[in-house]
Amino acid sequence: MKKTNSVSKILPVLFGFFIMGFCDVVGITSTHVKADFGLSDTMSNMIPVALFSMFLIFSVPTGILMNKIGRKKTVLLSNVITIIAMFIPLIGYTFAMSLIAFALLGIANTILQVSLNPLLTNVVKGDRLTSSLTAGQFVKAISSFCGPFIAVFAANQLGHWQLIFPIYAIITVLSTIWLMATPIEEEGEYGKASSFGEVLGLLTDMRILQLFLGILFVVGVDVGLNTAAPKILMERCGLSAAEAGFGTSAYFAFRTAGAFIGAILLAKFSSEKFFKINIVIAVLALTALIFIPGKIAIFALFAVVGFTIANVFPIIYARAIQIRPDKANEISGLMITGVFGGAVIPFLMGITSDAIGSQVGSVIVILSSAVYLLFCAFFVNTQKA
């Protein structure tokens, strides 16, 4: 059956990107969990570790599963796991239960990220696919931006911040019902699933290895600043956990704006030059963040980093595909595995900040990750050898 651009089929798929954005609540959650249980930075940062480590384990198996049960059913499976994860903190709010909840959310988000983009190709014609994928990332960014506000609403109006989880569960249920009620033709869309060996074998190409690490570090910067922003404001400005959560919102607001504006600019300007300019500005902003004490200045630096980092992931992803277009599916799976950086970098941030006794340690780790992206921008050659 020929794919169509029917709005009735596109909208429920795009709404799935809002569910994808739930993983970004990990930043404000780790801040609240640290305060609620009196944890160190190392321990509280195990929340993003629990979530993002699932990308390392489940990305390739999801591709294999998707070939067996179909894209739509795979997306629906991720929604079911998300709903279960959202109710676990309500069953028993402990640090251990929080880790289990976010590990399950990590599994669900991995499955969703691997399957939702391909599902979009079943309802959008080729000439509109790129703009639709960009729209999906914009919807995800809106979800990320809303998270801290929903947490504040839950704390102030419902009595506790953790009531954000049943709100997310209800939204996921609505998304599931909407998608289930939408007929989507998938016949004849499947190919041979890549094995672990085939995917990992791509890393023997040094350029792909360097770009894979670029994905790992850009996700690390994103999740790292998401996690550290409230803690920086609490440490330097004396804000409460709820007030400090708006630092994350500022970051995501400008990351959302950056994604929207970047999509327009990248249609007119070289992605290489765009990458270089943005990452240089991001490195300068992160360097300033080590020293700046004022609340307004800190918010401004969060905004600058959010705006400049917004399009780095898709640029690196596209560069990797450009190297071996004949292995696009395998490279796609490998790049999603690189989202594991959201576990590695916050873990290193926790260790460093505890060792120094300040969030300066976290910023240094984030800055180091951005410096590697600077290397990718200026020195990784994606042209055919």
CATH number of the domain within which 107 lies: 1.20.1250.20
Q: Distance (Å, rounded) from C-alpha 287 to C-alpha 184?
A: 48
> pLDDT (tens digit, 0 to 9) for every residue of the chain, 385 residues total?
444 457 778 889 989 999 998 887 877 788 788 888 888 877 887 888 888 888 888 887 887 777 778 888 999 999 999 999 999 988 888 888 989 999 999 999 999 988 887 787 777 765 555 556 667 777 888 888 788 788 888 888 888 888 889 999 999 999 999 999 888 877 554 555 556 777 778 888 899 999 999 999 999 998 899 888 888 998 888 888 778 878 888 888 898 888 888 877 776 777 788 899 999 999 999 999 998 888 899 999 999 999 999 888 878 877 887 787 767 667 777 888 888 888 889 889 989 998 988 889 999 999 999 999 999 999 887 655 4
Q: Which pLDDT value is given to residue 189?
A: 47
Domain assignment present for residue 76? The answer is yes
In this structure, is residue 111 part of a structural domain?
yes
Q: Give the per-residue pLDDT at 2.
A: 45
SS3 call for 190: coil
Q: DSSP string of 70-127? A: -HHHHHHHHHHHHHHHHHHHHH--SHHHHHHHHHHHHHHHHHHHHHHHHHHTTTS-HH
- Would you state the pLDDT for residue 3? 45
| Residue entry with tokens 């792909």 | 208
* Count of structural domains, the chain: 1
Residue 385 included in any domain: no
In a domain, 217, yes or no: yes
Residue the block writes with tokens 């809303």? 146
Domain housing 282 = 7-379
Q: What is the pLDDT of residue 385?
A: 43
Q: Is 310 inside any structural domain? A: yes
